[in-house]
Amino acid sequence: MASRKRGSRVRKPRGDPGQLNLFEASEQRARTPAKAAAPLRAKAKRIKAASIERPVILSPHEAATYLGVAVSTLKSWRAKKIGPPWTRRGSRLVFYFPADLDAFLRRGARDRDKP
């Protein structure tokens, strides 16, 4: 039996005893109960299903890369009302649909108002 100094206290671990800390062995971290992981898997499935249903949209940077032009060119085309169709959400968010960019590439660059 180890002796301790007179008047010294025995330190008790702080925090929740079930809580893992950074200094515990990785084997202990790997032993998470299956019940705890089940809600995370269900949430991941919901997120995956929701992302499949959403249409794909491209930012102006992505659209410029897709078309092979500069972002400033797309901005100029928007101001002149030429170029591929774009959509605005809110006051600043501009985005493009890939199908519209494909149609623009097929028909070539020309004014929207002219047939």
Angle at 88 between CA 87 and CA 94, to 5 degrees: 85
Average of per-residue pLDDT values in the chain: 74
Averaged pLDDT for residues 10-22:
61
pLDDT at 100 over 70: yes
What confidence tier does 108 reach under pLDDT thresholds 50, 70, 90?
confident
**18: confidence class by pLDDT, cuts 50, 70, 90:** low
Torsion angle in degrees (nearest 10) through CA of 86, 62, 107, 100: -40
